[in-house]
């Protein structure tokens, strides 16, 4: 048996020369004696000449199928047992199967690495027949036993070899089967059971058990080392044939049994009869009944995962070395399969944990997503409602005609909710039966109106009572025969006051949703608000008109009789109607004094009314401040002297010019100065002055008198309020309107009357007027009319106006309506001309624009010329006191002369 020292010979049957040469080079390099052939027939010849130790055969050959070559080789006595390595470019299961069938021991998929080729070769050499023979050489005892056994049985040598081959082949097949199934199992317990069963079967044992450490901690997995699992004793996982149930799951006691010995020593334990084994003497559970025991560690290198223990009772075959070898191979396979499975489990667990986390997160995200979506819905709804309300507001905010507001509201309702038509009924004096959207006139509309008219004759007017009658009629349900319609009656209350009732309809098919209901309620309320405002405006307009009529009538009617009385009294007093005695004279004087007072009172009241109604008309012109103040002082000279007061005129700066209504400002200064005289004791110092402050001229009237208590400072402007005079007995002679008028006149100039006063120290009234230094006011009297022309657009208006007024005015601007406002007032004029179309545009834009125009006109001195005018416009503007109407004049120059504006 000295084959051991011979070089192993390998025959390579490979058609492809480069591959063949490569293999030869690899193997020669590794110390094998290698030869190669390209064809099967050459191979057979080579084998016949010198049978090799290993044959490497390609599956595909030119002259013969590789499998057939293999099959054929097995029939030659010299190569029947020679390990064959099949090489194939495919390597599918079918080929592997076939390779095994024809007796190839190994299968290598092309292309292969050098390492893997050499490994295969080594494996084949070690587990093949040579390995068996080698091992028997190394183990002298066994070799001896073996030879003895052979000699004893007198078995022919060829028979021995056949048996050996059969045994080896059986082992190979077992291991091959095992490896085929091991990696398909993913359950550790199933794996262990499978291994145990196969082990028992492979070595023909009756009882067996597997112990393993319970878990592999994944954190240990990276830091491979010999101690990594040694802290844990393995526990019994599966068992068969032993009464082991009570041990299941328990840790292995190290010193109690063969398994513990194996675990501790990391060596296999083979005992033909454990009851006679010395090693077993130390086992705690000794004495064992007589049995053969084989235990191997489940290990690789220094890592150990557990132990496989097999036992056969006496009477059955004892375990031998080859059993041990096979079981070791099993254990090695199990080691990797276990690690694999545990790794996979760990991965799976991690995966599950991750999946669970992901699911949790997903749930949270879903939840918040649904919240967001709900919020979005709400937001969207609110936005929609808001946009509807805004649309309504935009549409009607500038309107003041209830009917127009209603039509706008209907238009929006129709657009937003598909409302067909509606009626709104407003109670009280301004009762309307408003008609719905006529363009969407439907059966509903006709029915509704018919119903309404039936119940409430239009000319009777509508009251709350008969509106209720009407709505009762409406709410009977099937509101018309031909078409299924639904309608809603919505009474609107504002501050608990019934404002209007609102009924609308639309096809019944379209059910009202909650959202729509809330929208319509909101809408109705808004509508009510605007409607209320519009009605209020109408009422105010009427009142305003009545008031201005009263002023106009009172002005004339009061003055006329007063004139007769005063004049006649004067005739008496002057003794033009004959001499009077002293007593008569005294009473006539008394009469005259009181008539004069009455005349002043009437004049004040009318002035005040005019200021209050905004009908005050200013003649704004450039005036010398010094002249103005000296005039005031001259007029009041007598009063100063009577009271022994000192007057100080204090004009700071030269040639101060202001732009104002001379009479009005004189009246203001006289009122303030007269107050200073009348409300203080004799010998008061009174100052009248003016100075330039920025672009304005500030006027003031100051005294060092008794002052006005703070508590009274607000009240002094009230109508008919009289401050308690400091002069004993006499009382003040005023009407109590003086300061109210003064304040009104100052404000009519676009200024503000300011008061500073301290009791015991004195009082200072002041106000600012526009300085007239600005070059744009260079126009002289009667030619100072600067002009603002207002049309819908500047272009539309400009040319005509410019042409007809050319050369008549110093400066002129034509503006479109959008420029109404401060900018124009600041930069231009005192006189406003509005073309009819422009004015109607203003009126149509509603109250806000009218107010703007009014303030513009007001600032311009109260002059508004309207060229031609429609009844509609007249009705609206006249009561507001801002209109001087020149009807049907086409010639602008004449129009201007009519209103007293001299032109050139």
- Interaction site with other proteins (CB under 8 A): 555-557, 559-568, 570-571, 574, 576-577, 595, 599, 603, 606, 610, 617-619, 661, 663, 862, 897, 899-900, 902
Least distance between other proteins and beta carbon 748 (Å) = 12
Least distance between other proteins and beta carbon 386 (Å) = 49
Q: Which is nearer to other proteins, 104 or 605 (CB)?
A: 605
Q: Is 338 helix (H, G, I), strand (E, B) or coil?
A: helix
Least distance between other proteins and beta carbon 549 (Å) = 15
Selection from 776, 798, 800, 799 nearest residue 788 by Cα:
798
Give the burial string for 78-97 (b: 16+ CB within 10 Å, else e). Answer: ebebbbbbbbbeebeeebbe
Q: Which is nearer to other proteins, 292 or 742 (CB)?
A: 742
* Longest Cα separation, the chain: 195
686 - beta bridge partners? 647, 703
Least distance between other proteins and beta carbon 615 (Å) = 8
User: In angstroms, rounded to a whole number, what is the distance separating the alpha carbons of residues 760 and 749?
Assistant: 32
Q: Which is nearer to other proteins, 571 or 627 (CB)?
A: 571
Q: Which is nearer to other proteins, 301 or 561 (CB)?
A: 561
User: In angstroms, rounded to a whole number, what is the distance separating the alpha carbons of residues 714 and 696?
Assistant: 26
**Cβ neighbours for 3, distance < 8 A, ≥ 6 positions apart:** 130, 133
Instruction: Please compute, for residue 584, the number of CA atoms within 13 A of its CA located in the half-sphere on the CB side.
Output: 10
Least distance between other proteins and beta carbon 540 (Å) = 24
Q: Which is nearer to other proteins, 393 or 603 (CB)?
A: 603
User: Environment class of residue 467 by beta-carbon count within 10 Å: exposed (0-12), middle (13-18) or buried (19+)?
Assistant: buried
Least distance between other proteins and beta carbon 896 (Å) = 10
Selection from 597, 574, 595 nearest residue 584 by Cα:
574
Least distance between other proteins and beta carbon 788 (Å) = 19
Q: Which is nearer to other proteins, 762 or 879 (CB)?
A: 879
Least distance between other proteins and beta carbon 666 (Å) = 12
Least distance between other proteins and beta carbon 663 (Å) = 7
Least distance between other proteins and beta carbon 557 (Å) = 8
Selection from 591, 443, 428, 596 nearest residue 507 by Cα:
443
Least distance between other proteins and beta carbon 621 (Å) = 11
Planar angle of CA 45, 47, 53, nearest 5 degrees: 165
**DSSP code, position 816:** E
User: In angstroms, rounded to a whole number, what is the distance separating the alpha carbons of residues 891 and 52?
Assistant: 136
Q: Is 810 helix (H, G, I), strand (E, B) or coil?
A: coil
**DSSP code, position 246:** G
Q: Which is nearer to other proteins, 589 or 603 (CB)?
A: 603
Provide the phi-psi class of 762: left if phi over 0, else alpha when psi is between -120 and 50, else beta. left
Locus of tokens 């068992």: 239
The DSSP annotation for 591-656 comes to HHHHHHHHHHHHHHHHHHHHHHTT------EEEEHHHHHHHHHHHTHHHHHHHT-EEEEEE-SSS-
Cβ(228)–Cβ(247) below 8 Å: no
Least distance between other proteins and beta carbon 664 (Å) = 8
Locus of tokens 């390609």: 58
Cβ(229)–Cβ(213) below 8 Å: yes
Least distance between other proteins and beta carbon 382 (Å) = 55
Q: Which is nearer to other proteins, 157 or 556 (CB)?
A: 556
User: In angstroms, rounded to a whole number, what is the distance separating the alpha carbons of residues 387 and 42?
Assistant: 97
Q: How many CB atoms lie within 10 A of CB 560?
A: 9
Q: Which is nearer to other proteins, 186 or 663 (CB)?
A: 663
Cβ(895)–Cβ(869) below 8 Å: no
The DSSP annotation for 148-209 comes to HHHHHHT--HHHHHHHHHHHHHHHHHHHHHHHHHHTT---HHHHHHHHHHHHHHHHT-SEEE
User: In angstroms, rounded to a whole number, what is the distance separating the alpha carbons of residues 99 and 200?
Assistant: 27
Q: Is 797 helix (H, G, I), strand (E, B) or coil?
A: helix
Least distance between other proteins and beta carbon 848 (Å) = 27
Least distance between other proteins and beta carbon 556 (Å) = 5
Least distance between other proteins and beta carbon 900 (Å) = 4
The backbone torsions φ and ψ at residue 650, rounded to the nearest 5 degrees and listed phi first, read -130, 90
User: Environment class of residue 703 by beta-carbon count within 10 Å: exposed (0-12), middle (13-18) or buried (19+)?
Assistant: buried
Least distance between other proteins and beta carbon 602 (Å) = 9
Q: Which is nearer to other proteins, 571 or 754 (CB)?
A: 571
Rg of the chain in Å (alpha carbons): 62
Q: Which is nearer to other proteins, 48 or 563 (CB)?
A: 563
Least distance between other proteins and beta carbon 551 (Å) = 10
Q: Which is nearer to other proteins, 603 or 685 (CB)?
A: 603
Cβ(816)–Cβ(792) below 8 Å: yes
158 - beta bridge partners? none
Selection from 505, 487, 529 nearest residue 437 by Cα:
505
User: In angstroms, rounded to a whole number, what is the distance separating the alpha carbons of residues 867 and 886?
Assistant: 6
- In the chain the first and final C-alpha atoms are separated, in Å, by 150
Q: Which is nearer to other proteins, 506 or 615 (CB)?
A: 615
Q: Which is nearer to other proteins, 559 or 692 (CB)?
A: 559
Q: Which is nearer to other proteins, 610 or 858 (CB)?
A: 610
Cβ(806)–Cβ(892) below 8 Å: no
Q: Which is nearer to other proteins, 178 or 745 (CB)?
A: 745
Q: Which is nearer to other proteins, 573 or 651 (CB)?
A: 573
Q: Which is nearer to other proteins, 574 or 718 (CB)?
A: 574
């Amino acid at each position: 048996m000295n084959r051991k020292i011979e070089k192993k010979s390998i025959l390579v049957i490979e058609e492809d020369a480069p591959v063949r040469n490569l293999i030869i080079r690899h193997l020669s390099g590794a110390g094998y004696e290698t030869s190669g052939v390209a064809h099967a027939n050459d191979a057979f010849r080579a084998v016949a000449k010198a049978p090799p130790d290993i044959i490497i055969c390609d599956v595909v050959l030119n002259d013969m199928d590789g499998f057939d070559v293999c099959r054929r080789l097995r029939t030659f006595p010299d190569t029947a047992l020679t390990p064959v390595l099949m090489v194939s470019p495919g390597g599918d299961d079918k080929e592997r199967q076939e390779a095994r069938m024809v007796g190839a021991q190994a299968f290598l998929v092309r292309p292969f690495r050098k390492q893997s080729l050499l490994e295969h070769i080594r494996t084949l050499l070690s587990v093949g027949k040579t390995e068996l023979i080698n091992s028997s050489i190394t183990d002298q005892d066994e070799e001896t036993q073996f030879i003895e056994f052979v000699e004893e049985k007198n078995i022919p040598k060829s028979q021995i070899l056949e048996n050996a081959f059969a045994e080896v082949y059986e082992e190979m097949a077992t291991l091959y089967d095992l490896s085929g199934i091991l990696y398909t199992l993913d359950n550790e317990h199933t794996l262990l059971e499978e291994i145990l069963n196969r082990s028992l079967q492979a070595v023909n044992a009756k009882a067996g058990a597997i112990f393993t450490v319970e878990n592999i901690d994944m954190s240990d997995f990276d830091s491979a080392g010999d101690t990594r699992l040694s802290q844990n004793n393995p526990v019994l996982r599966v068992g068969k044939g032993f009464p082991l149930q009570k041990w299941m799951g328990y840790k292995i006691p190290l010193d109690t049994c063969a398994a513990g010995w194996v675990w501790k020593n990391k060596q296999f334990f083979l005992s033909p009869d454990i009851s006679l084994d010395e090693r077993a003497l130390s086992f705690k559970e000794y004495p064992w009944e007589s049995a053969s025991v084989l235990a191997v560690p489940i290990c690789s290198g220094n890592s150990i995962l557990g132990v496989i223990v097999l036992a056969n009772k006496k009477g059955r075959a004892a375990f031998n070395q080859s059993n041990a070898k096979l079981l070791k191979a099993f254990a090695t396979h199990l080691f990797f399969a276990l690690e694999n499975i545990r790794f996979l489990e760990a991965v799976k667990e991690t995966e599950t944990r991750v999946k669970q986390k992901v699911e949790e997160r997903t749930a949270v995200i879903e939840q918040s997503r649904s919240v967001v979506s709900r919020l979005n819905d709400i937001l969207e709804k609110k936005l929609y409602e808001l946009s509807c309300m805004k649309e309504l507001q935009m549409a009607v905010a500038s309107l003041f005609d209830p009917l127009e507001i209603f039509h706008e509201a209907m238009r929006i309702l129709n657009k937003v909710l598909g409302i067909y038509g509606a009626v709104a009924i407003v109670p009280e004096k301004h009762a309307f039966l408003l008609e719905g959207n006529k363009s969407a006139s439907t059966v509903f509309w006709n029915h509704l109106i018919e119903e309404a008219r039936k119940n409430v004759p239009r000319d009777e007017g509508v009251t709350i009572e008969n509106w209720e009658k009407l709505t009762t009629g409406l709410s009977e349900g099937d509101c018309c025969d031909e078409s299924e319609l639904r309608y809603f009656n919505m009474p609107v209350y504002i501050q608990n006051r019934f404002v209007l009732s609102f009924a609308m309809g639309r096809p019944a098919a379209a059910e009202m949703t909650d959202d729509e209901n809330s929208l319509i309620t909101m809408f109705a309320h808004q509508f009510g608000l605007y409607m209320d405002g519009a009605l209020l405006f109408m009422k105010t307009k009427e009142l305003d008109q009545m008031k201005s009529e009263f002023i106009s009538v009172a002005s004339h009617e009061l003055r006329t009789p007063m004139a007769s009385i005063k004049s006649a009294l004067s005739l008496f007093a002057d003794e033009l109607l004959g001499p009077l005695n002293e007593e008569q004279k005294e009473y006539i004087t008394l009469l005259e004094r009181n008539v004069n007072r009455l005349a002043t009172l009437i004049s004040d009241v009318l002035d005040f009314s005019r200021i209050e109604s905004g009908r005050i008309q200013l003649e704004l012109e450039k005036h010398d401040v010094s002249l103005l103040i000296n005039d005031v002082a001259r007029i009041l000279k007598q009063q100063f002297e009577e009271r022994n007061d000192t007057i100080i005129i204090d004009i700071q700066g030269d040639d101060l010019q202001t732009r104002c209504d001379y009479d009005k400002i004189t009246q203001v200064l006289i009122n303030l100065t007269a107050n200073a005289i009348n409300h203080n004791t004799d010998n008061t110092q009174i100052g009248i002055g003016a100075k330039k402050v920025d672009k304005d001229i500030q006027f003031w009237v100051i005294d060092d008198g008794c002052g006005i208590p703070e508590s009274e400072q607000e009240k002094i402007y009230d109508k008919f309020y009289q401050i308690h005079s400091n002069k004993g007995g006499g009382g003040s002679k005023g009407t109590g309107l003086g300061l109210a008028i003064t304040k009104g006149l100052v404000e009519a100039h676009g200024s503000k009357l300011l008061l500073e006063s301290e009791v015991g120290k004195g009082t200072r009234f002041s106000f600012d007027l526009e300085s007239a230094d600005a070059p744009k006011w260079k126009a002289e009297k009667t030619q100072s009319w600067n002009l603002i022309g207002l049309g819908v657009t500047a272009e539309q208006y400009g040319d005509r106006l410019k042409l007809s007024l050319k050369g008549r005015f110093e400066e002129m601007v034509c503006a479109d309506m959008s420029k109404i406002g401060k900018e124009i007032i600041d930069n231009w004029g005192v006189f406003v001309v509005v073309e009819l179309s422009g004015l109607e545009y203003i009126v149509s834009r509603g109250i806000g624009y009218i107010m703007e125009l009014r303030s513009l006109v007001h600032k311009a001195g109260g002059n508004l010329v309207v060229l031609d005018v429609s009844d509609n416009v007249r009705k609206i503007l006249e009561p507001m006191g801002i209109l001087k109407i020149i009807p049907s004049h086409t010639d602008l120059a004449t129009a201007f002369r009519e209103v007293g504006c001299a032109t050139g």
